[in-house]
Structure 1
Amino acid sequence: MENGISLSNRPSTGSEKQADSPFIEQLINALAVSFRPDSLDTLLNHLSILAPILDALPNVVFFIKNTRAEYVLVNQTLAKRCGLDRVEDVLGRPSRDVFNTRQGTEYTEQDYQVLKTGICIADKLELHFYSSGELGWCLTHKMPIYGACGNVIAMAGVSVDIQSDELNQPGTNERLEKVESYVRTHFDQVIRMESLTEISGLSMSQLERNFKKIFHMTPLQFIQKTRLEHALRLLAQDMTITEIAASCGYADHSAFSRQFKQLTGVSPSQFKERKAINSAPA
């Protein structure tokens, strides 16, 4: 594949340690801010040395796309999430072709926004649908990469899995534990940030900083995640969209549908239809 790199075929020395998401985020920032390659080929050649590390990240999706929003570099995790055995099956294709769902079209639209406007997408909370039928939360970052002449030559992206609640329990931090407990028991009501600062005894900046350190997301994103997870359970029941919206703390069904589509790429009714198809006997 021209201008395409398969990370999984790079030899590994066996001595690399598994990198964590902060390293990947720093890499993305360095690519977007400091590095000014002459061409896309130069960029890919520089990144090839990191291939073994990027392939060793089971909870991180990393990719580079060209100006046509086509994958030119991906790690093995992305291929596995798409149900593909080889990363070569991903290269040269945009997200809308790889995922082949409404969500894939949403991703491609995001890509063109970054490539055409140069605007970064940072810490975007998303619910991903995997080929196995499972769901997974992640935080997505997308940034343009500028060439030596100042033009956008590519886009870098990373999606970092948000670990399960069991691994994210702030047992050593009573203040954040109070906030977490409050959100989980009051998500069906209006939750104001001022209330969370009072509960925690922290300033807004302290709360955001500490919450993100423990939960890998902001308090607002945690509220959205908690509400949507409850909505996903209710969508499996015989309830209307309006009833579900009210049960999850949304002012009306329009606000709920808008938030749901923003996080998942599909409407509540489309999600319900998809789940019905997936659970239907073969």
Structure 2
Amino acid sequence: MSSTDKLNQLHSFLQQSSIMQLVNMFDLMPDMLFWIKNTDSEIIYANRAFQQHIGVNSLEHAIGLTDYDFAPPHLARQYVVDDQRVMAGQAVDNRLEMNILKNGELRWFTTSKRILLDSNDQLIGTYGVSRHLEKTSLALTGMQALKIPVEFIRANYMHDICIVELAELSHLSISALERRFKKFLHKTPKQFINEVRLENARRLLVETTLPIAIIAGECGFPDPSYFTRQFTKLFDEKPSDFRLSFNPS
């Protein structure tokens, strides 16, 4: 089946009134990006928040685009790899990921993705949602207490960060802080710190020519071997292989 046929198939699927009524609900959630892609990771539907996020004026201008059309290559690659993982049976749940706004600023989002099946249970694509971490912080009651530790981690990820210090900054006990992270970010403070460090390391691997050991140290991993293990665990490839994929020469 050609890419055009797949797009037409998805259009037909979405035009079912019951489906469109549900999909249109996402336009009522300005802090949430929602999209549907076909099996080639081409956008077939995007809510208004997603359209604004990628800088287009209408759904028609978004249809058929891939992440490579509006995101930095190293980020687009991760999004497409996630699509492939989802289609292979791996769910993406509240993944912390760096994203780029249309003004060029990098921000943090939490993303979840699932497979999309037709009425015959045949795989026809994926769908997902992303929530802007800062906007979510302002929108959800109780999340405000995480705003301070999250911003502290983003600004100081390259240094040693003590959970006790985070709790004191948040005016919470350690157990209360951990419960708050698990409730709103679905991860512990240590997991969040680790992922922030790894996301920044991934960016430096593409944007600089610094040795991997130096990047590891600058992102809070004094042991390069431990950094490599953690990077491989999160991104399914070694830092050296990741860098080589963007600069084969």
| TM-score normalised per structure 2 | 0.64
Where in structure 2 are the equivalents of 1:73-84 lying within 5 Å? 73-84=45-56
Q: Which residue of 1 aligns with 2:145?
A: 170
Residue of 107, 125, 130 corresponding to 2:96 = 125
Q: Which residue of 2 aligns with 1:99?
A: 71
Residue of 220, 223, 232 corresponding to 2:190 = 220
Q: Which residue of 2 aligns with 1:69?
A: 41
| TM-score normalised per structure 1 | 0.57
Alignment partner of 1:104: what SS?
helix
Asked whether the 8 Å contact 2:97–2:199 carries over to 1, the reply is: no
- Aligned partner of 2:41: which letter? A
Q: Call closer, same or farther: CA 1:207–1:97 in 2, change over 3 Å.
A: same
Where in structure 2 are the equivalents of 1:83-94 lying within 5 Å? 83-94=55-66
User: Structure 2: how far apart are the matches of 1:163 and 1:178?
Assistant: 12
1:153 pairs with 2:159: no
Larger radius of gyration: 1
Corresponding pairs, count:
224
Asked whether the 8 Å contact 1:3–1:72 carries over to 2, the reply is: no
Identity of aligned residues (%): 29
Asked whether the 8 Å contact 2:24–2:47 carries over to 1, the reply is: no
- Which region of structure 1 is more displaced relative to structure 2, 75-84 or 206-215? 206-215
Contiguous gaps of at least 5 residues in structure 2: 1-6, 244-249
1:104-143 Cα offsets, whole Å, 9 max, x none, are: 233222212212x122111111001233211110011111
- Aligned partner of 1:125: which letter? L
User: Structure 2: how far apart are the matches of 1:240 and 1:132?
Assistant: 30
Residue of 211, 215, 218 corresponding to 2:181 = 211
1:181-229 Cα offsets, whole Å, 9 max, x none, are: 8998796238689xx8xx9453xxx765432335565323431365469
- Which region of structure 1 is more displaced relative to structure 2, 98-107 or 250-259? 250-259
Contiguous gaps of at least 5 residues in structure 1: 6-38, 271-282
User: Structure 1: how far apart are the matches of 2:231 and 2:53?
Assistant: 24
Q: Call closer, same or farther: CA 1:191–1:165 in 2, change over 3 Å.
A: farther
User: Structure 1: how far apart are the matches of 2:34 and 2:56?
Assistant: 16
Q: Which residue of 2 aligns with 1:110?
A: 82
1:62-88 Cα offsets, whole Å, 9 max, x none, are: 011223322211112222221222221
- Which region of structure 1 is more displaced relative to structure 2, 82-91 or 241-250? 241-250
1:227-255 Cα offsets, whole Å, 9 max, x none, are: 469879x999xx97645533542134566
User: Structure 1: how far apart are the matches of 2:221 and 2:201?
Assistant: 11
Q: Call closer, same or farther: CA 1:82–1:254 in 2, change over 3 Å.
A: farther
Q: Which residue of 2 aligns with 1:22?
A: none
